Amino acid sequence: MQEGRCGMNRNREQKPTRVPFAAKQVGEASSRWDWVEPCVWTDRMLTALETGVKGGQWFSLIDKVDRDRNLYQAFRRVAANGGAAGVDHVSCERFAERLIPNLRKLSQQLREGNYQPQAIRRQWIPKPGSRELRPLGIPTARDRVVQTALRQVLEPIFERDFAEQSYGFRPGRGCKDALQRVDTLLESGYTYVVDADLKSYFDTIPHDKLMNRVREKISDGQVLTLIEMFLRQQILDDLAEWTPDRGSPQGAVISPLLSNIYLDPLDHLMAGAGIEMVRYADDFVILCRTREDAERALEMVRQWTAEAGLTLHPDKTHIVDMAEGSFDFLGYTFQGRYRFPRKKSLQKFKDSIRQKTRRTNGHSLQCIIAQLNPTLRGWFNYFQHCQPSTYTILDQWVRMRLRSILRKRRKGKGRGRGHDHLRWPNAYFAEQGLFSLKQSHVLASQSSQR
């Protein structure tokens, strides 16, 4: 956004009680915070973040939320993520057609305290490898912009003290880091695993308890009101509209941060007791050296979740002895020293390949392979630490799907088999550029050994 367009709040931002607009930006501050939004987090604010603010609570934050540059950067992130339109049927593209007036209106509403979120459109989507459906909330584009602007202000405040055991929806961390930590602990002899499952976590977070945790660090009344409004946004589900009294909708921009805020005390409780827990959002495992330690850890979790108003799933929470059992975590199945794709992950992968390799597919083989390769490459990038036999089997299955297409084009019936392997050998598909999971694993292993 141009300087002239970004100046609508300049007079308000230059009041001596607030951080000056011209303060040094985050690029000059500690690299620890190089991910924060520089139009919000100046060196002066980062210094306060590092050294701590009086009473541990932050005041006067709403002027950072409604700042024009913050809203503009928030829109850019929302637009980059895409997503469907909400109940107002306004897409990101349509919102962008009147971007400056729309952002100015949001800034004014936030500043004056009369901003009101619209209802969330609920959509039910299938769970991978299951007949069950899970709810997804779709806020409007304008609400996603405001939630992103709010998150850009709040996230560093809470990130400062988040525990090391948490990996989900945090800057510079992800699934692979969590999986690597699990691997390290297993190899170090932590072979008794508490495989825990929070039942409907995002839908059952108590609003009052969550807000109490937010208030431990935030004292700006307008910001607190804004968070409460997002928690109590009406839900439009199949033409029925209702107001939730618990939970934070999956799909809302602010929900991952709020979910981490609520579970952070559990992270610190486990760490303080010397218990190794690895958590990604509401999915976590606890790794111990003995069954007695695992039973003690599980009892602590049961007690904490009960006090927090949450429920451990009785059928999905158990202790696993890795000498004879297995557990699933973040798409992988851990069994002994080996990793495999979780059955649901494998089913999701195969469903995606099936959609692109129907026998009635009228595209050329080169075109089909071009559509397959991004899926194959992306799947391998995540599941590249499985047993090598996994890739051989899946490569064979993918080639069978392609041979079935070619077989049908020669008026044949059924799956690719028999002489089809001679007519279209493995080398034929390699020449056509088909991504090979097995070959990629070989190359990755050689690179790792070097």
pLDDT of 443 over the 70 cut: yes
In a domain, 94, yes or no: yes
Residues 188 and 127 in one domain: no
Domain boundary among 128, 160, 192: 160
288 and 191 in a single domain? The answer is yes
What pLDDT is stored for residue 412 in this prediction? 86
Give mean pLDDT, residues 387-411: 95
| Residue 195 shares a structural domain with residue 275 | yes
**Number of structural domains found in the chain:** 3
CATH number for the domain that contains residue 323: 3.30.70.270
- Which pLDDT does position 28 carry in this prediction? 45
> 77 with 150, same domain?
yes
Q: Is the pLDDT of residue 14 over 70?
A: no
Residue 57 counted as domain residue: yes
| Per-residue CA distances from 200 to 68, 135, 204, 243 (Å) | 37, 10, 6, 17
Bridge-based pairing of strands 235-237 and 240-242 is antiparallel
CB 249 within 8 A of CB 202: yes
Q: Model-level pTM?
A: 0.87
Asked whether residue 373 falls in the same domain as residue 441, the answer is: yes
Which domain does 317 fall in, by range?
180-201+254-336
What length does the chain have? Answer: 450
Sign for the pseudo-dihedral over CA of 411, 414, 419, 421:
positive
Residues 260 and 399 both lie in one domain: no
DSSP character at residue 114: -
- Local confidence band at 339 (pLDDT 50, 70, 90 cut-offs): very high
> Mean pLDDT throughout 304-317?
95
Structure tokens at 302: 């049961």
- Is 274 contained in some domain? yes
- Comparing CA positions, the residue from 436, 446, 358, 432 lying closest to residue 390 is 436
Shared-domain flag, residues 108 and 197: no
Of the residues 284, 317, 336, the one at which a domain ends:
336
Answer with the one of 318, 336, 354 that is the final residue of a domain. 336
Q: Positive or negative, the Cα torsion across 79, 85, 88, 91? A: positive
Are 86 and 123 in a shared domain?
yes
Lowest-pLDDT choice from 16-20, 52-56, 295-299: 16-20
For residue 32 the two structure tokens come to 């620890």
Does residue 238 lie in a domain region? Answer: no
Is residue 358 a part of any domain in this protein? yes
Residue 38 lies in a domain: no
Higher per-residue confidence, 116 vs 1:
116
Per-residue confidence (pLDDT) for residue 445, from 0 to 100: 85
How do residues 313-338 score in pLDDT, each as one tens digit? 999 999 999 999 999 999 999 998 89
Tell me if 221 is assigned to some domain: no
235-265, pLDDT tens digit by residue?
A: 998 878 899 999 998 889 999 999 999 999 9
Residues 259 and 366 reside in one and the same domain: no
Residue 87: pLDDT over 70: yes
